[in-house]
Structures are given as C-alpha cells and as structure tokens.
Amino acid sequence: MGFALASDQMYLRDTVRTSVKLLIVGHFAVGKTTLVGALSEIRPLRTEELMTQAGESVDDLAGVPAKTTTTVAMDFGRLTLSDDMVLYLFGAPGQERFTPLWHDLARGALGALVLADTRRIEESFDVMTLLEERGLRYAVAINQFDDAPVFPEEELREALDLLPTTPLITCDARDRGSATRALIALVEYLIDSHDQEHA
C-alpha cells in the first residue's frame, strides 16, 4: 500500500530521536478513523471495509445510519512534534470482536485518547476498562456530532466515572485544529503524570 503526503515530507527527519506511540480508541462509529486522518501529516494507513449484511447482527448502526464502512484492523498516522520527536497514532477498531487485536496495538503505547459520543456514552465504558486493565493513562474527547446532545462537563464526568485528573475535552474529529487540541490535552496530561511520578 502506497503513502501519499498531506505535506511535502514523507520521510522522517534525520534529527528525530524520540518516537511516542499513542492509541486513538473508542466504541464503534465514534470517529477514530476521521480523527487520525485529520491529525496525520502523511496519508493515513486505513483498513476500512464495506459493511455487509453479515455484520448487521453485531454492528449496531443506531445513531449512525449513514455509516457504510468499518475499520477491520487499525488506522495509522504520524505527526512530527519537533525536530527530534514524532508521534505515531494507532486507531483501534471499536467492536468487541477485535479486542485481541486491540491488546496487540496497545503494546508499547504511552497513553490513549478515548473518543466518546454523547448519544451512546455508555458504550465508552468497555474501552476505558480495557485501558485501565493495561495501566494506560488516557484523556477523553467528546466528539461533537451535529445531532448529539450537549451536557455540562460535571454531568459527563459523573456519567463516565472519570477521576478528577483525567482530562475531558470536546472536539470535532473532522477539524485538524480541534483534533490537535484534544491530542495536546492528552500529551500534556502524560507529561504531567510522568513528572509527578519522577519528582
């Protein structure tokens, strides 16, 4: 599979010394592929396939009737932060049947950005449980779908049972600036947590 560029840089700079692996996770049809595509400086690797009748019994399209494809392995993107640091973004499929693959993708990850949808907030619980079982820190980004209800942050924190230190932000996964702010919130949280542990 070939890569085309979103920018004029296909290869890593020879000054890069540090690479960081981050997961982009969330339930089915929450916008993970879209967010990786918005952030990546290279054309993202996508493993999307058309949805078929065979998947109707396992892929709940409630709230997302226009969805026609689904990720069957992963999304992959890259974002250079500085002359010496690069982020590798791995989007994991959201369906439960892909949990074994999800565990493989999580190996070596520093943390995760959990995308959530207020129309199906309860579907985020399994994803957060998987992260907690692996000891991975995460931030939660509420993807702002056009027809989704809006709730105060306190209500969302309570509904998601988040620790006070866990970042909770809103974003539009289609918008590069908004997606970048969500990613920055995660990275700052990971840096702060690391600094506190090693203080």
Report the run of H or E that residue 24 belongs to, with start and end: strand 18-26
Q: Is residue 57 part of a domain?
A: no
Residues 162-178: b if buried by 16+ CB within 10 A, e if exposed = beeebbbbbbbbeeeeb
pLDDT given at position 163: 95
Q: Name the residue range of residue 101's domain.
A: 18-49+69-198
Q: Is residue 157 part of a domain?
A: yes
**Domain count across the chain:** 1
Report how far residue 36's alpha carbon sits from residue 6's, in angstroms, rounded to the nearest whole number.
12
Residue by residue, pLDDT tens for the chain (199 residues) are: 333 334 445 677 888 889 999 999 999 889 999 999 999 999 887 665 554 555 455 555 555 555 455 544 578 999 998 888 899 999 988 766 667 777 888 899 999 999 999 999 999 999 999 999 999 999 999 999 998 999 999 999 999 999 999 999 999 999 999 999 999 999 999 999 988 888 7
pLDDT given at position 51: 46
Burial class of 109 by CB neighbour count within 10 A (0 to 12, 13 to 18, 19+) = buried
- What DSSP string describes 32-82? HHHHHHHH-SBPPEEEEEE--GGGTTTS--TT-TT--EEEEEEEEEEEEEE
Q: Is residue 11 part of a domain?
A: no
pLDDT given at position 6: 41
Question: pTM for the complete prediction?
Answer: 0.81
Report how far residue 124's alpha carbon sits from residue 185's, in angstroms, rounded to the nearest whole number.
19
CATH number of 185's domain? 3.40.50.300
Report how far residue 79's alpha carbon sits from residue 28's, in angstroms, rounded to the nearest whole number.
24
pLDDT given at position 3: 34
H-state helical runs in the chain: 32-39, 99-106, 125-134, 153-160, 176-197
- Sorted by sequence, the CB contacts under 8 Å of residue 183 that are 6+ apart come out as 22, 39, 79, 87, 113
Would you state the structure tokens that stand for residue 155, as one six-digit string? 């209500």
Q: Is residue 134 part of a domain?
A: yes
Looking at residue 107, what DSSP letter applies? T
pLDDT given at position 40: 93
Q: Is residue 60 part of a domain?
A: no
